[in-house]
Amino acid sequence: MFLTVFLDLVGFGIVIPLMPLYAERFGAGPVAVTWLLAVYSLMQFFLAPWWGRLSDRVGRRPVLLVGIAGSALSYLAFGLAGSLGM
């Protein structure tokens, strides 16, 4: 469990410092970056109980593996993004 949380926080910690560089490259202002980070945190707040109920039903391991895979794919998409919408 600790390793899963560690990997998620390291990935997110790598993305946050790069966010201003991507914003400048794509012509986004500080408000767009703030909204992006705020929506991420808001979705975590609202979806955490759902993920918790799902992990109670199917088990912690499958839910953690899906979460790690989803994070990896989203970080890859962020790194390969060619536009602000991506």
CA angle, 70 as apex, 55 and 60 as ends, to 5°? Answer: 20
pTM as predicted: 0.67
Amino acid identity, position 30 = P
* Closest C-alpha among 85, 69, 2 to residue 36: 85
pLDDT in tens, 3-33: 777 877 777 777 788 888 888 888 888 888 8
pLDDT in tens, 51-78: 889 999 999 889 988 988 988 898 888 7
Instruction: Pinpoint the alpha helices (H) of 2-59.
Output: 2-26, 30-58
Res 2: pLDDT: 76
| Domain range annotation of the chain | 2-79
26: number of CA atoms within 13 Å, CB side? 20
pLDDT of 41 over the 90 cut = no
Pairwise CA distance, residues 59 & 80, whole Å:
32
